[in-house]
Amino acid sequence: MLKNLKLLFGQMVLSSKKYADPSKVLKSLTKNDGKPVEIGDEQDMGEVNDTLLTRIQEGLNYKKIFQLFV
């Protein structure tokens, strides 16, 4: 997911387009049980935001832990 997120932010920063397509990030987003978040599934914004930020934090923590052992 972090790779897709990096690409999305790169497109937002470097592109002259007025929009960026977040569908790859959304398709790679998973719930706490590991199942993918269904696009169109009814969730409030707080739930989606919590899931997204949790996955980002997990990815950042994983990178820090991985660097300790390399």
Nearest to 23 by CA among 44, 35, 40, 42: 40
Confidence band for 14, pLDDT divided at 50, 70 and 90 = very high
Band of residue 4 on the pLDDT scale cut at 50, 70, 90: confident
Query: Which token pair is 37?
Result: 């978040």
23-61: per-residue pLDDT in tens?
888 788 887 788 887 777 777 888 888 888 888 888 778
CB neighbours (10 Å) of residue 38?
Answer: 12
Structural domain harbouring 63: 2-69
Burial of residue 53, with CB atoms counted within 10 A of its CB: 0-12 exposed, 13-18 middle, 19 or more buried = exposed
Q: How many domains does the chain have?
A: 1
pTM of this structure:
0.58
Q: State the residue for tokens 């980002």.
A: 56
